Structure 1
Amino acid sequence: MEVAAIFLPLIGFLIAGCLGRVIGHRASMAVTVASVCAAAILSIWLFVDVALGGETRTITLFTWIESGDFAVDWALRFDTLTAVMLIVVNGVSAMVHIYSIGYMSHDPHRARFFAYLSLFTFMMLMLVTADNLVQMFFGWEGVGLASYLLIGFWYEKKSANDASIKAFVVNRVGDFGFLLGIFAIFVIFGSVEFDTVFEAAPAMADATFNFLGYEVPALNTACLLLFVGAMGKSAQLGLHTWLPDAMEGPTPVSALIHAATMVTAGVFMIARLSPVFEYAPTALMVVTIVGATTAFVAATIGLTQTDIKRVIAYSTMSQLGYMFFALGVSAYEAAIFHLMTHAFFKALLFLGSGSVIHAMSDEQDMRKMGGIWRMIPVTYAMMWIGSLALAGVGVYGVFGFAGFYSKDIILESAFADHSWFGSYAFWLGTIAALLTAFYSWRLLLMTFHGQPRADEKTMAHVHESPWVMLGPLVVLAIGAVFAGYVGYDAFVHHGREAFWGDSILVLEANDTIEAAHHVPFWVKILPVVMGLIGIGLAYLFYMGRPYLPGLTATVFRPLYNLSFRKWYFDEIYDFFVVRFSMWLGRGLWKSGDVAIIDGVGPDGIARVTRDIARRTSALQTGYLYHYAFAMLIGVVALVSWYLYSVRG
């Protein structure tokens, strides 16, 4: 059963990918959807057995690598952390597969698309069930490959090709750091097996090693290198520029990759390695600062974007920032709790935006929408639920949407850390909560309310999506409403020790979640108040006083440009990295490859050979007296050589 929950998506991929042209689109969709849905059902059984029943286990399949004393098994690790991730990955993937039946119904390459979706799902499952760092890296690179294929699925579009290449290249930067981190772990512990590393970590807390000619703290250095990998995969500030461009892929891809799975790989990796990170305080501080800064910067960018999918993409980046600064203050359980709740409401928002795009004849610009809420009431209601969960709306002691529970415990944990970087994260996260509520309701109001801004032809064709698309939205909406309420006690309250068991380690001195339950009341209520203020401001700007957005953009033009141009990261990278790389590459191509390697090597030899052949061919004139003269010269030369030899 455990193996089936992991390998069923691979079987679906192989059938649809290898036999798609033979069995056709319908059969390809059927086999991939059935395999992933079956894996999702098995994941529920595993969650009950492993997370709730405490039956943790590791299943060794075979010895994967064996070289001298170095051996790596291919094993599947099932503990509470894995069980939660299986629910998220297989559950959201199943909803995306079903939704895609309707969304991709007119695409001529549906079999290939569903094969890629199943491949991505399998690679993510490989990542979350890994029992060692090498196996995790296999899944890590696998999701990178699958995301490249999915983002560039519509390869006829130059923008899709560029986005897929950008995602691939930026992630390679992070993956290089991840590789160095794995090497460092092996140098320190002599193993890449999780259990071996975790048992030895306390003894290595004060160890040092030589890195780049300096004697540095071993665990801090290794964890910082691993964090670089997490930054790339989870789009943290500096290695985030691929995420918004990845919206060029089909909307189901955005929901699968950028809501619940690939971008959360970095969060999962650090939570899995909590027994090592707990002894690397400098690394945790860096994680906190980067995460908090990411949450704030991404929220400011989301304020001014006009593409409905890009607004949600920057929202994803911001929420990932929350997860990372939760990890940084040792609130690993809170980070995974938010990962789980975020998967429901963010997948709901992405798929809901896809329903809007479907209704608006593929229009994604919110400035060309408006006035459609009565025409697509189910989609409208689903987007409301997703936005309420994202904004963290709720009432203490009564009920709240999913984000209300998970986001607030993160902010409370940051405050309870009582460190300067914890306070930095708390205040930036609180401001980001206000901005999140504002841009969420800006999206709702611009998309559904006000006067219609689309042309008459588009408005005439606005229609509700089929139930094969709306059904997954309803399932995700249930999670967005109840996941936080249902999971709060087990994930971050009284039941957390029994629930998490040994899958996450937190040192007693770093237990910020326990301290979070004793923070002042104003700390608990502040994020909710900020969220309500953000919603009120959005109504004022886009319903009550519609002239205010334009006026604000004019008065605060530099700040508006900073947000609209995404803090100029793309321009900075283009100037300092892309242009230099292009110049260097062109120079190596023209001067190195063409002039030296080809010029002296294959092209040079070919040129000399052609020149000799051309000169030799000039002797072949076809005149008899030329050949006789040549023969005479040959005879003279031969006689001369003979006489010279005899005399010698």
Structure 2
Amino acid sequence: MDALFLKLIVAFPLLAAAILLLSAGRMPARATCVIGTGSVGLSALMAARVATHATSPASLHVPLWSWMRVEGFSTRIAFTLDPLSLVMMLVVTFVGFLILLYACGYMRDDPDIARFFGYMTLFVAAMLVLVFSSDLLSLYIGWEGVGICSYLLIGFWHIDSANVAAARKAFIVTRIGDAAMLCGLLLLATRAGTLEIAPLLAAPPASATAAFLLLGGAVAKSAQAPLQTWLPDAMAGPTPVSALIHAATMVTAGVYLIARLHPLFAAVPAAMATVALIGLVTLLLAAGSALVQTDIKRILAYSTMSQIGYMFLALGAGAWQAAIFHLVTHAVFKALLFMAAGAVILRVHHRQDIYQMGGLARAMPGVFAAFLAGAAALAGLPLLTAGFYSKEMILQGAWHANPLLWAGALLGALATAVYIFRCIFIVFFGPRHTDPTGRTGATMALPLLCLGILALVGGWIDMPDAIAPVHLLSRLLSPLFGAPTAEGPSWLLWTGSLVPLAGVGLAWLLWRPRIRAFTPPEDAVARLARTGWGFDTLYDTLVVRPFVALGRLNQTDICDRLSDATAATARAGGRMLGRMQSGQVRRYAGWIAAGTIAALCLGAWP
């Protein structure tokens, strides 16, 4: 029965996507919402049933069909449920359901709502295929599926050319990583003779090249340096799209891939060190950019890059459970933050500049409470929030791996608290610059309430022994990853608790409610940080412009000239033959006579 449920968990959103896209917008908006949200809701219910009734998730393997079989290599489509895919299944289905329920209110007036929900349900189905796949080649199908869905959703409002450009940018940048990942998979297939995950993990080949190629795919999909430039521009899509991409699906795929193949990476110390270094660099660069952004969604976008950086740092440090724990809590509070930001944007006439808001706490207390809960969890305020417990576990793992990693992660925690509470103090306090209108409907408020509660208490599933000896998630994942990293001295816990509070205090000193908000001096560093540290300019100079120039030069290359000459010769020959077709019988007879004489002469030639 569990095997049937596992198939249906994927089938429901996939079937809903087919129905909605084939309806071509002829279905009423309410029916569209029911089908789209209901399909993912059914998947969430079945996921809960599988999670509560599966006695041994590691033993659940569901073969579907054989894909290809050649001499020395075979691959098949099959689903496997183990502790890691169980956690991801719950995150994708439950958070995805709440995002789609929210989207029913957010997108209710959009004329293309059927297309929107079709893409969203297809997105969820592709992520579930990625999570459940027992073979890396079928995992790659889900991997590419979330990529194409992100392209379609980022450019959903395609009338605006800027949205199309953002979607194209996301597609191209992530394709760079996907090409590297495919090369890594082909290399693994030649080295190990299989792409089945279980045999690969049982005897992982010590291939540094394969590990780094797979890391390239993870870096691009999870928007880590240096392939992170697509994520801030992905804010061009509707807010529910931003919530789904940043919380439950696409950007977590890279983290999942490394965690899934952790023995392969653990066998290559250089790859592990690179993963940790990429995570540390990204979390600090992204936090620095978030500090100077003025668009509320771009602040949250850079925040996502930074928090995924924490997960990469934990993976590189070997703190596997900590990375997955933070993935779970981040999915909750980041979806909450995006949806609360979307509610604010709707009610302030689609303005996104935080300096055009202000004083909204009294006008929308429910939305303010939801945003505050998400911000507190993102900052990792001690004891009260889920983010504190997951981030604390990462800090403990970083300390045991390398104290420099711990110091960098701690600096990132300080910056996180500063930039998110800067956003709160400017948006919800101080003088009001825009009068909000309307109200937040029930379909939008209910997901905010559910996620707000989880953002506060969701971290209780795994806590430090100094607070309470609760390790539910670590115990669940231990068959895959082994025992979690031992806890360090108590002063680590105290330091990790005080630094976010210091960040909140610093944000209060700089942006506390006042008649005129504090504006830091606009220097070169601030301008550079606001533009994402110049990565776009660098790539435009080194890659885009030379490529375009080469394309223009290649418009008239030697191959084109040969083709043009061939075409010109054919046209000239056609014109010449056309002159011979005059329609005059006397000329035809003359040509026949001339040809006969020429043939006789050639035959008589000695």
Q: TM-score, normalised by structure 1?
A: 0.87
Superposition deviation, residue 277 in structure 1? 2.1
Superposition deviation, residue 53 in structure 1? 5.8
Larger CA deviation: 191-200 vs 250-259:
191-200
Q: Matches of 2:196 and 2:369 in 1, distance apart?
A: 47
Aligned to 2:559: 596
Aligned to 1:208: none
Gaps in structure 2 of 5+ consecutive residues: none
Superposition deviation, residue 363 in structure 1? 1.1
> 1:141-540, aligned counterparts within 5 Å?
141-201=144-204, 204=205, 218-394=206-382, 399-417=383-401, 422-454=402-434, 459=435, 462-488=437-463, 494-495=471-472, 498-502=475-479, 504-506=480-482, 513-515=484-486, 517=487, 519-540=488-509
Superposition deviation, residue 280 in structure 1? 1.9
Superposition deviation, residue 614 in structure 1? 4.2
Q: Matches of 2:280 and 2:497 in 1, distance apart?
A: 18
Aligned to 1:64: 67
Aligned to 1:568: 534
Superposition deviation, residue 537 in structure 1? 1.7
Assess if the C-alpha contact under 8 Å between 2:462 and 2:474 holds in 1. no
Larger CA deviation: 612-621 vs 147-156:
612-621
Superposition deviation, residue 617 in structure 1? 5.6
Q: Matches of 2:594 and 2:441 in 1, distance apart?
A: 96
Assess if the C-alpha contact under 8 Å between 2:426 and 2:513 holds in 1. no
Aligned to 1:94: 97
Superposition deviation, residue 140 in structure 1? 0.6
Assess if the C-alpha contact under 8 Å between 2:9 and 2:47 holds in 1. yes
Superposition deviation, residue 497 in structure 1? 6.1
Query: For the structure 1 residues 42 and 635, does the alpha-carbon distance in structure 2 shift closer, same or farther, using more than 3 Å as the test?
Result: closer
Residue-by-residue CA offset, 1:376-421 (whole Å, 9 max, x unaligned)? 1111110001001101012xxxx3201010011101110122xxxx
Q: Matches of 2:513 and 2:471 in 1, distance apart?
A: 44
Q: Matches of 1:644 and 1:545 in 2, distance apart?
A: 106
Structure 1 vs Structure 2 CA RMSD: 2.5
Q: Matches of 1:270 and 1:239 in 2, distance apart?
A: 17
Tell me, what secondary structure is at the counterpart of 1:63?
A: strand
Query: For the structure 1 residues 15 and 431, does the alpha-carbon distance in structure 2 shift closer, same or farther, using more than 3 Å as the test?
Result: same
Q: Matches of 1:647 and 1:298 in 2, distance apart?
A: 87
Q: Indicate whether 1:27 and 2:3 are aligned.
A: no
Query: For the structure 1 residues 533 and 193, does the alpha-carbon distance in structure 2 shift closer, same or farther, using more than 3 Å as the test?
Result: same
Assess if the C-alpha contact under 8 Å between 1:17 and 1:115 holds in 2. yes
> 1:47-126, aligned counterparts within 5 Å?
47-50=51-54, 56-126=59-129
Aligned to 1:553: 521
Query: For the structure 1 residues 600 and 375, does the alpha-carbon distance in structure 2 shift closer, same or farther, using more than 3 Å as the test?
Result: same
Pairing partner for 1:543 from 512, 523, 526: 512
Larger CA deviation: 364-373 vs 265-274:
364-373
Superposition deviation, residue 424 in structure 1? 2.5
Q: Which amino acid aligns with 1:238?
A: P
> 1:599-614, aligned counterparts within 5 Å?
599-601=561-563, 603-614=564-575
Q: Matches of 1:67 and 1:29 in 2, distance apart?
A: 45
Identity of aligned residues (%): 37
Larger CA deviation: 279-288 vs 540-549:
540-549
Assess if the C-alpha contact under 8 Å between 2:229 and 2:532 holds in 1. no
Superposition deviation, residue 521 in structure 1? 2.5
Superposition deviation, residue 296 in structure 1? 0.7
Assess if the C-alpha contact under 8 Å between 1:259 and 1:347 holds in 2. yes
Aligned to 1:43: 47
Q: Matches of 1:414 and 1:546 in 2, distance apart?
A: 42
Residue-by-residue CA offset, 1:503-552 (whole Å, 9 max, x unaligned)? x234xxxx6x432x2x22222122322211211121221226776843x3
> 1:6-21, aligned counterparts within 5 Å?
6-21=10-25
Residue-by-residue CA offset, 1:90-112 (whole Å, 9 max, x unaligned)? 11110111111111111111101
Assess if the C-alpha contact under 8 Å between 1:236 and 1:291 holds in 2. yes
Residue-by-residue CA offset, 1:615-637 (whole Å, 9 max, x unaligned)? 56667899x9xx96896687567
Tell me, what secondary structure is at the counterpart of 1:59?
A: strand
Pairing partner for 1:585 from 551, 573, 593: 551
Aligned to 1:211: none
Q: Which amino acid aligns with 1:500?
A: L
Assess if the C-alpha contact under 8 Å between 1:290 and 1:321 holds in 2. yes
Assess if the C-alpha contact under 8 Å between 2:381 and 2:388 holds in 1. yes
Assess if the C-alpha contact under 8 Å between 2:57 and 2:81 holds in 1. no
Residue-by-residue CA offset, 1:329-370 (whole Å, 9 max, x unaligned)? 111111000000000000000111111111111111112111
Q: Matches of 2:591 and 2:71 in 1, distance apart?
A: 70
Assess if the C-alpha contact under 8 Å between 2:25 and 2:112 holds in 1. no
Q: Matches of 1:326 and 1:131 in 2, distance apart?
A: 24
Q: Which amino acid aligns with 1:194?
A: I
Q: Matches of 2:433 and 2:360 in 1, distance apart?
A: 10
Superposition deviation, residue 27 in structure 1? 2.4
Residue-by-residue CA offset, 1:315-336 (whole Å, 9 max, x unaligned)? 0000000001101111111100
Q: Matches of 2:391 and 2:197 in 1, distance apart?
A: 29
